[in-house]
């Protein structure tokens, strides 16, 4: 679909942005270009639709040398999505989406029909959005329109230059998922520039790691993770990978539980809960072995007596080694707000609560906010 043969780009002023690049994106392939700022990703991409022209070498799209094609015709066959969205502010959403079809001379009815097909594809209700203006939409919604616009004339090839990097993490994830789905469904060839390795690993069939205008390694996500070609790639792939949520364990996030002995009085238990602001106490023996738990409701029914009289021993636990996601699932399925962690001898070593869980997950998922590049 796209082939680079020994392509170089030297900007006026002598900056060699791309250096003897050989690259191929097959039909239906999702190719991610990744590398540090200034390594030539955008230049590479812009040469595909002739927003920049190579200084030397050849680029083929669908087997045709693009330098032999009319650049305007070429561009209209290629969808293009950039970070700054680039919607026309004085045109409605429908007009923005229909921009290329209109330039291609489609009649009005066909343009309308296409707009009404496309907006739902990117999760926007046509009745609600088609007559609005870009400024009335959130960043994420605008970027959805940007994708719809890129797909409007049914291109087989879509170029995307850091399209999601200005979005908040949740919106970004959603749009990544949708883009992947659309790419599959319509067998699109996508060349996607990012500096976010998580994004590249998630989306790419092939990841092309660039440095100083050259390709350091082009490989599948799996291959890249297993066999990074050199330290540069390894470092690039390795960055932030320790934050992978699937690697977190209960021990990584558990807190110290509030406990009480079985021989203590119920009034004392209530006071302790109030003082420590917890809605239950873990009951442990003198060796810290977990015996059960007690809540204010259990106490209310009896009022007098000892913790041992009312506590419930049927308690679901995890081990400190339990993967966090599994523990979360256990809590969720059993409608629990917390899950105690016990060691092999049954000793209580920690507690995870739904709050600590959410904190841990959000930190792991999003703590790299703003530290791009
Ligand atoms: P990336 O997208 O990977 O950050 P770019 O392709 O934008 O990298 O830039 C590659 C190199 O080319 C950089 O050194 C950049 O400064 C230079 N460059 C990019 N665009 C131009 C331009 N229009 N004129 C001169 N130099 C440029
Ligand atoms: Mg760039």
Specify whether the backbone of 175 is left (phi greater than 0), alpha (psi in -120 to 50) or beta. alpha
Q: Does 55 score more than 60 pLDDT?
A: yes
What are the tokens at 253?
């996030």
| Per-residue confidence band for 196, with pLDDT thresholds at 50, 70 and 90 | confident
Instruction: Name the residue ranges covered by the structural domains of the chain.
Output: 2-242, 250-360
Q: CB-side exposure of 302: number of CA atoms within 13 Å? A: 18
Q: CB-side exposure of 169: number of CA atoms within 13 Å? A: 14
CA 37 to ligand 1: nearest atom: 4
CA 44 to ligand 1: nearest atom: 6
Q: How far apart are CA 48 and CA 191, in angstroms?
A: 10
Protein residue with its CA nearest to atom 24 in ligand 1: 11
Average pLDDT, the chain: 88
How far does residue 180's CA lie from ligand 2's centre (Å)?
A: 21
Q: Does 80 score more than 90 pLDDT?
A: no
Q: What is the largest CA-CA distance in the chain?
A: 92
Protein residue with its CA nearest to atom 13 in ligand 1: 38
**Residue range 93-127, pLDDT digits in tens:** 999 999 888 888 899 999 999 999 999 988 899 99
Q: From the CB of 233, is ligand 1 less than 6 Å away?
A: no
CA 52 to ligand 1: nearest atom: 23
How far does residue 37's CA lie from ligand 2's centre (Å)?
A: 7
Q: Which of 75-79, 327-331, 360-364 has the lowest mean pLDDT?
A: 360-364
Q: From the CB of 43, is ligand 1 less than 6 Å away?
A: yes
Q: What is the pLDDT of residue 331?
A: 85
What are the tokens at 12?
């006026």
Q: Which of 83-97, 102-116, 264-278 has the lowest mean pLDDT?
A: 83-97
Q: What are phi and psi of 358, to 5 degrees?
A: -65, -45
Q: What is the pLDDT of residue 371?
A: 39
| Per-residue confidence band for 355, with pLDDT thresholds at 50, 70 and 90 | confident
Task: Write the CATH number of the domain with boundaries 250-360.
Answer: 3.10.580.10
**Residue range 278-311, pLDDT digits in tens:** 889 999 999 999 999 999 999 988 878 999 999 9
Q: From the CB of 155, is ligand 1 less than 6 Å away?
A: no
What are the tokens at 243?
């934050």
Sheet containing 30-34: which strands, arranged edge to edge? 78-82, 157-161, 189-194, 30-34, 206-211, 214-219
What are the tokens at 126?
């046509």
What are the tokens at 144?
């959805």
CA 195 to ligand 1: nearest atom: 3
Q: From the CB of 42, is ligand 1 less than 6 Å away?
A: yes
Protein residue with its CA nearest to atom 15 in ligand 1: 38
CA 46 to ligand 1: nearest atom: 6
| Per-residue confidence band for 363, with pLDDT thresholds at 50, 70 and 90 | low
List for the chain the helix, strand, coil content (%; round to 5). Answer: 40, 25, 35
Give the number of the ligand closest to the Cα of residue 165. 2
Q: From the CB of 372, is ligand 1 less than 6 Å away?
A: no
| Per-residue confidence band for 368, with pLDDT thresholds at 50, 70 and 90 | very low
Q: From the CB of 323, is ligand 1 less than 6 Å away?
A: no
How far does residue 240's CA lie from ligand 2's centre (Å)?
A: 21
Protein residue with its CA nearest to atom 5 in ligand 1: 40
What kind of fold does domain 2-242 have according to CATH?
A: Rossmann fold (3.40.50)
Q: What is the pLDDT of residue 154?
A: 84
Same fold, 2-242 and 250-360: no
Q: What is the pLDDT of residue 39?
A: 94
């Amino acid at each position: 679909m796209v082939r680079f043969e020994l392509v170089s780009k030297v900007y006026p002023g002598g900056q060699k942005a791309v250096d003897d690049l050989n690259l191929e994106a097959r039909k239906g392939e999702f190719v991610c270009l990744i590398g540090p700022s200034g390594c030539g990703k955008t230049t590479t991409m812009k040469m595909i639709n002739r927003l920049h022209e190579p200084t030397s070498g050849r680029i083929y799209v669908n087997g045709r040398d693009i330098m032999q094609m009319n650049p305007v015709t070429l561009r209209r066959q290629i969808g293009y999505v950039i970070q700054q969205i680039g919607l026309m502010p004085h045109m409605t959403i429908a007009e923005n989406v229909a921009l290329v079809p209109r330039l291609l001379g489609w009649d009005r009815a066909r343009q309308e029909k296409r707009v009404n097909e496309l907006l739902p594809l990117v999760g926007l209700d046509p009745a609600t959005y088609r007559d609005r203006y870009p400024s009335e939409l959130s960043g994420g919604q605008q970027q959805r329109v940007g994708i719809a616009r890129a797909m409007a004339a049914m291109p087989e090839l879509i170029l995307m230059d850091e399209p999601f990097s200005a979005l908040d993490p949740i919106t970004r994830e959603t749009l990544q998922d949708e883009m992947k789905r659309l790419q599959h469904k319509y067998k699109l060839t996508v060349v996607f520039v990012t500096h976010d390795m998580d994004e590249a690993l998630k989306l790419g069939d092939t990841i092309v790691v660039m440095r100083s205008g050259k390709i350091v390694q082009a490989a599948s996500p799996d291959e890249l993770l297993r066999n990074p070609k050199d330290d540069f790639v390894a470092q690039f792939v390795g960055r932030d990978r320790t934050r992978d949520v699937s690697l977190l364990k209960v021990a990584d996030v558990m807190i110290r539980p509030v406990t009480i002995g079985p021989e203590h009085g119920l009034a004392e238990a209530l006071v302790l809960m109030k003082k420590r602001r917890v809605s239950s106490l873990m009951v442990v023996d003198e060796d810290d072995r977990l015996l059960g738990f007690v809540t204010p409701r259990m106490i209310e029914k009896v009022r007098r007596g000892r913790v041992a009289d009312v506590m419930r021993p049927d308690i679901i636990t995890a081990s400190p080694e339990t993967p966090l996601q599994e523990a979360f699932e256990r809590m969720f399925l059993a409608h629990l707000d917390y899950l105690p962690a016990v060691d092999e001898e049954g000793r209580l070593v920690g507690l995870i609560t739904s709050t600590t869980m959410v904190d841990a997950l959000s930190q792991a998922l999003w703590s790299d906010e703003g530290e791009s590049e």
